[in-house]
Amino acid sequence: MTEETWDVVIVGAGLSGLSAAQTLRKRNGKLRILILEGKDRVGGRTVTQELPAAHGIDRWDMGGQWVGSTQTYVMDLIQEFGLEVYTQYTTGKKVHHVGGPHAKVRTSSTSIPALSTLVLLDLSQLVWKIDRLSSTVSVEDPMKTPNAQELDSMTLHSYIEKHAWTEEMKEEMGVCSRVVFGMEPNQMSFLYFIMYAAAAGGVLCLLESTPGSAQEFRVKGGTQQLSERLAQQIGRESVRLGQAVTAIWQDAERAKVMTATHSYLCRAVIVTCPPHLAAKIHYQPALPIQREHLTQNMPVGHMMKFVITYQMAFWREKGFSGEIVARPSAECPLSVTFDGTSPSGSAALVGFISGVQAYNWSSREDWALEEYSGGCPVNVMAPGMLTYYHPSLCMPCGRIHWAGTETATKWCGYMDGAIQSGQRAALEVLARLCPFTLTQEEQDAMQAAQNQNHDSGPCQHLPSTSHLRRALILTTLIMATAVLLAQPQLCRDWIGQARQVVLRRFALWQ
Amino acid sequence: MTEETWDVVIVGAGLSGLSAAQTLRKRNGKLRILILEGKDRVGGRTVTQELPAAHGIDRWDMGGQWVGSTQTYVMDLIQEFGLEVYTQYTTGKKVHHVGGPHAKVRTSSTSIPALSTLVLLDLSQLVWKIDRLSSTVSVEDPMKTPNAQELDSMTLHSYIEKHAWTEEMKEEMGVCSRVVFGMEPNQMSFLYFIMYAAAAGGVLCLLESTPGSAQEFRVKGGTQQLSERLAQQIGRESVRLGQAVTAIWQDAERAKVMTATHSYLCRAVIVTCPPHLAAKIHYQPALPIQREHLTQNMPVGHMMKFVITYQMAFWREKGFSGEIVARPSAECPLSVTFDGTSPSGSAALVGFISGVQAYNWSSREDWALEEYSGGCPVNVMAPGMLTYYHPSLCMPCGRIHWAGTETATKWCGYMDGAIQSGQRAALEVLARLCPFTLTQEEQDAMQAAQNQNHDSGPCQHLPSTSHLRRALILTTLIMATAVLLAQPQLCRDWIGQARQVVLRRFALWQ
């Protein structure tokens, strides 16, 4: 077994690991940095592939594909590499199929889904309640959230059961959970859900394609380019593919990172792989119990993505946006589709089969079957995990530092969060190895974070205008219903307009 | 790396693995069986140690210690090896300290804890409700339980919050969860909880020391003797200690089980280690996603056991049983103690620090720190796991068969369940390698189980008399309260007697 010596070894060549390496390299060009990756490619949960299309071969993202204007880390990186984004196509009618097994497939002109006023009201009140709670969450230290332990003691399912008025709305929330996490609402802590929403700026930001939301832009040429450019910048000789890390040992002097065939001595390690994979590495000395129990209980989602290419975007011509939202069933396993037409005009639809439905399809090629992914898009926390173990998610263990999008405090679970986490872990390592490369401000911030003081108080991602806006929506809807009930024949036009205003806010459900 | 060839390799030399080997050996003496164990001893989560006591050295169980008369698998084994059991000492007053941070420490004469009538009623109605639900559970296929998905979508905490009337009762249930599982009520699926209770014969069977309950007997000389005798019977040359399995590969012809230094070819493998440790083994080809996601989300408990030896059992002389039930606090980390005096008369108390409190003490020697245990007493399931993944807990993956107490259908989580699971896995292997050693009945049973038909319908562990008994208790208590409210001065004596009858049923709370 060969043995080499480096300054820093990074486990994982996804956006998180590569961003960590970039930050280390930028701050101190002398550091010898090695990235070990189990897969035979860089990019982690992003991968861009060629598919036959109407006008020859074109490229599509088979993993993470959307970015948004409030995702400053990933937008900065896109700009740094001179890449371009384009807006997700959402013009036209949407198809909506939710509301029990016997629900009709409904299409909506003027971009309004055929939801009853009651369900719209329910949607509005539920999102308003969740967002109000979400605005009280401290993402850095979720247990500072008012009533944190109670919120962490219930599943997302239990919350929905208690607070949604209609069965249709409960089903809608199931679709949301599947689309955002690849997971059923009963597998996740409710506090974790609202923390995740808070890290994105509110629950609607997770669901929408509007400015600032998660599905706002796509990257021309695909998102894997970001990792490829990063690897190029860092130097391909520093990135070793097909080198899955099996063990990390450490003592007072150094750490030793082992693969099946090699062993690497170093002064610091950054582990960036998803928590359930980090849990499979053998650590010596053993990690603290809190860390072990946490990573053993962060279920990873199950989401299968498909891209269908067409001769032409026939849906656009017929006035459809390409969006379908559906309750999964035996006949229709998908949860959602979007227009996936490439910037060069190759027509396509992109969609997801997710949550429990994905299991019926998992004999197909799948993220869950990729050994060094094991699922996608993200690991969440089961109930009770935030209450007892949250600090150990990021707390360094000796020479080992933790990154990966699950450890991010802004857009946790997204490419943006991966980059934030990599940069944060890099600063931790710099503070250990060469503190002179950090500003006093950075050193103080590191110290504060590592002291677990988390004095930051409730996080203020949601501007108060957002509250007002939602309160306004709720009021409008209540008024609309009141008018409708009072004068059913009179006000249809006015109500139609009001609904239109409201429903622009709920693009994903359309 | 040396390579050897065997018929069956068993991973883990606890009661489950050793029982599997015993069954294989009994049925077919020609099978070459090898047991690989990561620890330097046999016994898994049972270990018997010597401690200084009043009259010299004596032995105590530092792991699993109790058995009960309805635990037929372990009782048979005890009988086979000519070992003896003795009854847990419970005579005398109990100490009870539950009811909020300012609760008084109360002792009770005549074995009745100083609970208010309201809390007794609450206890009675809650246990009655849970037991009624528990009696509808199919342990073999929990998703056949009426309303299964809903019950699996909430935590035990959520159920208690909804159905307990008093804060004191909620706290009592927290103590129960800690004592039985080493876990907080918010970390566990409620359906899993009632399935676990059903596998033991009802929720009170988990908690009590009465005949048929979990804390009925102890084994003279300690429970680790069972594993030592089994290992002796099987042949010490077939048990290799300090050989942690790191990988299992298989193809159409054979399986290959690897440790750091050896590799063993065989025709079948039985993996008996706890699910979170089984998840750390590297499998090739990869296991089905369902299995991976399940074992990644079965949190293991955290329970620290302590034995304190004394010159004399002073509590007995003062009329105490040695039982303390306490809400954990900074001043009092323990959840429960029992009289632990040895059969030869060495006075001792045995107690547990468990659940979240154990973390504050985990710098001490601890099951959680033992690399090839990682926690105790048992792994449970987080919400949603039974709904989506339960069948993969036992379903063989090619040549790999699964055992361990977590896979048992009777006294799951106990020594008895470990033995049952080992014997069941052995029959599966025999059905594969030498079906002629099985009776037609056994073959049919195997076939039925492996077809996942589970036609067994709801399990009937709880005799209907038990239902009647509990209904009677409830009625008695309601009548008592009615009388108390109507004639507060009159009936104290009668109520005292009624309470005494009732409270014999709730020994653990006393």
Q: Which residues of A touch B280 (CB under 8 A)?
A: 279-280, 282
Q: Taking residues B186-193, what's their average pLDDT? A: 96
Of the pLDDT bands very low, low, confident and very high (cuts 50, 70, 90), residue B475 is low
Torsion of CA A344, A348, A354, A358, to 10 degrees: -120
Return the higher-pLDDT residue of B481 and B293.
Answer: B293
Instruction: Identify the pLDDT of residue B80.
Output: 98
Average pLDDT along chain A? 87
Look at residue B416 and tell me whether its pLDDT is greater than 50. yes
Instruction: Identify the pLDDT of residue A501.
Output: 45
Average pLDDT along chain B? 87
Look at residue B207 and tell me whether its pLDDT is greater than 80. yes
Lowest mean pLDDT among B22-26, B102-106, B111-115, B407-411: B111-115
Q: Taking residues B350-359, what's their average pLDDT? A: 84
Q: What percent of chain B has a predicted confidence (pLDDT) above 90?
A: 67
ipTM comes to: 0.82
* SS3 per residue for B456-479: CCCCCCCCHHHHHHHHHHHHHHHH
Q: Taking residues A245-256, what's their average pLDDT? A: 95
**Chain B interface mutation, best of A187, A280, A364, highest count of B Cβ atoms under 10 Å:** A187
Look at residue B491 and tell me whether its pLDDT is greater than 80. no
Neighbours of B258 (CB within 10 A): 20
Task: Indicate yes or no: CB of A154 within 8 angstroms of CB of B158.
Answer: yes
- The answer to whether B80 is a known ligand-binding residue is no
pLDDT tens by residue, A1-13: 678 999 999 999 9
Return the higher-pLDDT residue of A146 and A467.
Answer: A146
Look at residue A100 and tell me whether its pLDDT is greater than 70. yes
Return the higher-pLDDT residue of A343 and A116.
Answer: A343
CA nearest to B260 within chain A: A260
Q: Taking residues B390-419, what's their average pLDDT? A: 96
- The answer to whether A245 is a known ligand-binding residue is yes
CA nearest to A291 within chain B: B359
Look at residue A23 and tell me whether its pLDDT is greater than 60. yes
Phi and psi angles of residue A490, each rounded to the nearest 5 degrees, phi first: -85, -45
CA nearest to B366 within chain A: A289
Instruction: Identify the pLDDT of residue B112.
Output: 54
Look at residue B138 and tell me whether its pLDDT is greater than 70. yes
pLDDT tens by residue, A208-235: 889 999 999 999 999 999 999 999 999 9
pLDDT tens by residue, A318-331: 999 999 988 877 77
Of the pLDDT bands very low, low, confident and very high (cuts 50, 70, 90), residue A107 is confident
Look at residue B431 and tell me whether its pLDDT is greater than 70. yes
Task: Indicate yes or no: CB of B382 within 8 angstroms of CB of A387.
Answer: no
Residue-by-residue DSSP string for A360-377: TTTTSS-GGGSTTT-S-S
pLDDT tens by residue, A438-467: 999 998 888 887 775 443 332 223 333 344
pTM, full prediction: 0.86
pLDDT tens by residue, A170-213: 999 999 999 999 999 999 999 999 999 999 999 999 998 899 99
Instruction: Identify the pLDDT of residue B371.
Output: 77
Instruction: Identify the pLDDT of residue B492.
Output: 53
Instruction: Identify the pLDDT of residue A147.
Output: 96
Q: Are A146 and A133 in contact (CB under 8 A)?
A: no
Look at residue B304 and tell me whether its pLDDT is greater than 80. yes
Q: What is the CATH number assigned to the segment(s) B4-47+222-297+377-455?
A: 3.50.50.60
Instruction: Identify the pLDDT of residue A473.
Output: 60
Domain ranges of chain A: 4-47+222-297+377-455
CA nearest to A275 within chain B: B296
Instruction: Identify the pLDDT of residue A492.
Output: 52
- A304: enclosing H helix or E strand: strand A303-309
Best CA proximity match to A334, nearest among A374, A306, A362: A306
Instruction: Identify the pLDDT of residue B507.
Output: 42
Instruction: Identify the pLDDT of residue B464.
Output: 36
Which residue from B153, B184, B296 is facing A186, i.e. has the nearest CB? B153
Which residue from A286, A356, A385 is facing B371, i.e. has the nearest CB? A286
Look at residue A58 and tell me whether its pLDDT is greater than 50. yes
Q: What angle do CA B317, B322, B323 make, to 5 degrees?
A: 150
Q: Which residues of A touch B293 (CB under 8 A)?
A: 299-300, 302, 368, 375
Best CA proximity match to A492, nearest among A54, A85, A112, A9: A112
Instruction: Identify the pLDDT of residue B265.
Output: 98
- Report CA-CA distances (Å) from A247 to A222, A258, A270, B66, B245: 33, 5, 13, 37, 14
Q: Taking residues B312-336, what's their average pLDDT? A: 89
Instruction: Identify the pLDDT of residue A330.
Output: 76
Q: Taking residues B14-30, what's their average pLDDT? A: 97
Phi and psi angles of residue A206, each rounded to the nearest 5 degrees, phi first: -70, -30
